[in-house]
Amino acid sequence: MTAETNKGPVLGMRHVQALLIFLNITTVFIGRLNVGVSVVAMTNAATTNPDFPEYDWTEAEKSYILSSFFWGYILTQLLGGYLCKRFGVKSVMFWGVFGSGVCSALTPLFVGFGEWQAYCGIRVLMGLAQGVVFPCIHQHLAKWSPPEERNRLGALSQTGIECGNVSAMFLSGMIAKSSLGWPGISYVSAVVAFFWCALWLVFAANHPTESRFIGENELLYIESSLKHHATIIPIPWKAIWTSAPFLALLIVRCCENWGLSTLQAEIPSYMNGVLDMDMKGNAFFSALPFLAMWCMSYIYLIVADVLLGKNSVSLTVLRKTYNSIAFWIPAATLVGIGFLDKDQKNFAIALMTISVGVNSAQTIGSVLNTIDLSKNHASILMGIVNTAANVVPIATPLVVGWIVEENSDRSQWQIVFIIASAIFFVGNCIYLVFGTAVTQPWDAEDYLQTQNPELANRPPMQALSFPINENSKDKMDSKSH
């Protein structure tokens, strides 16, 4: 009864943790994505600050720089999932962001003596550092978010992605034109990372029982809702890899990263080459779609809260609906973008803004689905998903570099956008058929024990290894209320 009546404070430490995650994502995305603006500034000093060195890099060399972060990023995803379960989220996330900040601070020095090859090298190191972050984030949300607040807290914290996108593109462009020049982009990114590390050390805790600032009511509320396990639960690898809902999530996240990474990494080049816009306009209009994405994410969150609060839809239906909006509308607008040139630049900017803006629904649509499927193994699931999904951003700049031989050729960019559109469409179809927001049986603490018939004393429904039917779960939930 206490768990039902005690809702904790309206604003508490669980919200502070969500804010810290929001700032964390913003910070790492600034360091990750400012390269799109930096490369333009470093190869065209006349449009930014001519007092700093300019480099004559080919389109292929630029594509290596844009993708190099992900060469390191994919290598530490699973490691991050294991480390945060073994040593706790607080220390692992701190060192990941701190290492990323050090790489940002050293970037101008590396570029100065090694040009594009050294730039690739320091970006690989940054990717290695940031690779542990997102598995930690999902594990942290699973430990701090009561089930009825998980969608809200998770979505709020994930809006740091949009904030990071806007900051990386808009602010980086302004810094490049200032007296700091393109080196200032890296220095500011480093300062932001170190500031976040200080906040994290003071206010973060691996789980509510370790927090120095949490109140008794909030602690009781969270712990009674989550039934926290102090022990490390064995990982059911076979069940995970044979789970249709998890494999559907894996595929849909790969498809999402193809479409969005195409826009994230290539918008500055597209604006500069096809639409013939200078660096100041480039920075603003490159950031505009992601500003729309940031604003739309809060609209999606409010609507989702209302729908779930009124029990109008199940969580599975909500996730699939939002993901369809996030994938299929951009699939249509991307095709349109590919047929426009600089004489229709306003229309192109409008379509691009719509395409990226509505895509923010994918946070509620599929990003948080790892926690739905298994809160106990959320970091491991995220490690697997992010490893596979971030192989994609390695490939997309390389594909663009192969297709787009002349940066101002509209027909070549047209092919790039059509490919992204097709991948968006097919990926969501798979998620609609096989995806679910129902907790999977292999999330149970004793799941591996129950696979032995001599130890299995659970009711038949709990012993099944396939997903529970959503309608059945909804009926059971309604009876429990």
- Asked whether 271 and 341 are in contact (CB, 8 A), the reply is no
Give the sign of the dihedral formed by CA 88, CA 91, CA 95, CA 98: positive
Is 1 within the bounds of a domain?
A: no
Q: Which among 150, 145, 119 has a CA at the least distance from the CA of 41?
A: 119
List C-alpha distances in Å: 290 to 162, 163, 293, 295, 477. 6, 8, 5, 9, 38
CB neighbour class for 198 (10 Å; exposed up to 12, middle 13-18, buried from 19): exposed
- For residues 261 and 393, is the Cβ–Cβ distance under 8 A? yes
Handedness of CA 215, 221, 225, 227 (dihedral sign): positive
The tally of domains found in the chain comes to: 1
Has residue 5 been placed in a domain?
no
Taking alpha carbons only, the member of 215, 231, 193, 243 closest to residue 93 is 193
pLDDT for 281: 53
Task: Give every CB contact of residue 477 below 8 A, 6+ residues apart in sequence.
Answer: none
| Segments in the chain below pLDDT 70 | 1-8, 47, 227-232, 263-268, 277-286, 449-481
C-alpha distance from residue 92 to each of 57, 130, 136 (Å): 36, 10, 8
8 Å CB contact between 260 and 392:
no
Three-state SS string over 241-269 comes to HCCHHHHHHHHHHHHHHHHHHHHHHHHHH
Asked whether residue 238 is assigned to any structural domain, the reply reads yes
In a domain, 3, yes or no: no
Work out the angle at residue 186's Cα, subtended by the Cα atoms of residues 183 and 189, and round it to the nearest 5 degrees: 145
Q: Are 325 and 361 in contact (CB under 8 A)?
A: yes
Instruction: Compute the distance between CA of residue 169 and CA of residue 122 in angstroms, rounded to an integer.
Output: 20
**Domain of 98?**
10-480
Q: Which tokens belong to 242? A: 């044979």
For 178, which DSSP code?
Answer: S
First to last CA, the chain: 12
Locus of tokens 């462009």: 173
The tokens for 52 are: 């700093």
Q: φ, ψ for residue 435 (rounded to 5)?
A: -75, 160
Q: Beta-carbon neighbour count of residue 62 at 10 Å?
A: 25
Is residue 4 domain-resident?
no
Please tell me the distance from the alpha carbon of residue 37 to that of residue 30, in angstroms, as a whole number. 11
Tell me whether residue 155 is exposed, middle or buried, using C-beta atoms within 10 angstroms of its C-beta: 0 to 12, 13 to 18, 19 or more: buried
Conformational region of residue 57, where left means phi above 0, alpha means psi within -120 to 50, and beta covers everything else? beta
The pLDDT score that the predictor gives to residue 456 is: 40
CA distance 187 to 86: 33
**What is the C-alpha radius of gyration for the chain, rounded to an integer number of angstroms?**
23
Taking CA atoms, 242 is separated from 150, 367, 442, in Å, by 26, 20, 11
Give the containing element (helix H, strand E) for 403.
helix 392-403
Residue 375 to residue 461: CA distance in whole angstroms: 20
Q: Is residue 243 part of a domain?
A: yes
**CATH code of 373's domain:** 1.20.1250.20
